[in-house]
Amino acid sequence: MPFELAPLPYASNALEPHIDAKTMEIHHGKHHAAYTSNLNAAIQGTAMENESIETILSKISTASAAVRNNGGGFYNHNLFWNCMAPGKGGQPSGKLAQAIQAAFGSFDTFKEEFSNAAKTRFGSGWAWLIVHDGKLVVCSSPNQDNPLMDDAPVKGTPILGLDVWEHAYYLNYQNRRPDYVSAFWNVINWDFVAEQYEKALN
């Protein structure tokens, strides 16, 4: 099997009270696991079997719906788990902080723009902070699409992603997506996001 489900980088209850253990267990152990095995099934026997997930996403317009949905789901959740960690939150520092200031005017303005992208994405999807031509941009995408896909309306390299599918929050927050979006800021691992920013610039 070309793609494997990596273990969560922390215990399933590590993000409580912001994200509850049961949600994390089902989200990683069932949803992410299903995207991974369905992706493997969808690429079996095709040329994509030996390609990286980034390569697959870069030509997703030529792939089946199964590869799009499950390939996106595989990649998006890998990024998502690592964008969070216990005892984090706060604000970024260094070059990323300066880039946020340059792109949005202030961290608070960025926070508002990203939160609005997450809250106003209709139905299932993701909010993103991406690097596009060396600049930071906030956007969102439907379903399991992401800005690495060649047919994405806003393209770039994701460095921070927030899952706003109901399966990401409904057990704890029910219909209160804005509360879940607010809670996300308490668990963002800015050290990881800063590493992704540096990589995206190179």
Residues within window 150-169 making contact with Mn ion, judged by CB under 5 A: 163, 165
Comparing CB distances to Mn ion, the nearer of 31 and 59 is 31
Size of the site for Mn ion (CB under 5 A): 2
Is residue 180 part of the contact set for Mn ion (CB under 5 A)? no
The residue of the chain with the least Cβ separation from Mn ion equals: 163
CA-based torsion, 90, 85, 75, 29: positive or negative: negative
The minimum distance between CB 152 and Mn ion, in angstroms, equals 18
Beta bridge mates, 16: none
Of the two residues 9 and 105, which places its CB atom closer to Mn ion in the complex?
9
Identify each DSSP E strand in the chain by its residue range: 125-132, 135-142, 157-163
Closer residue to Mn ion (CB): 22 or 95 = 22
CB closer to Mn ion out of 80 and 114: 80
The minimum distance between CB 165 and Mn ion, in angstroms, equals 5
Q: Does 184 bind Mn ion (CB under 5 A)?
A: no
DSSP line for 135-187? EEEEEEEETT--TTSTT-SS--EEEEEEE-SGGGTHHHHTT-HHHHHHHHTTT
Residues 6+ apart with CB under 8 A from 84: 15, 19, 184, 187, 188, 189
Give percent helix, percent strand, percent coil of the chain, each to the nearest 5: 50, 10, 35
Smaller CB separation from Mn ion, 14 or 103: 14
Residue 72 CB, nearest approach to Mn ion (Å)? 10
Helix (H, G, I), strand (E, B) or coil at 15: coil
Least gap, CB of 163 to Mn ion (angstroms): 4
Q: Which of residues 64-123 bind Mn ion (CB under 5 A)?
A: none
> Interface with Mn ion by CB under 5 A: which residues?
163, 165
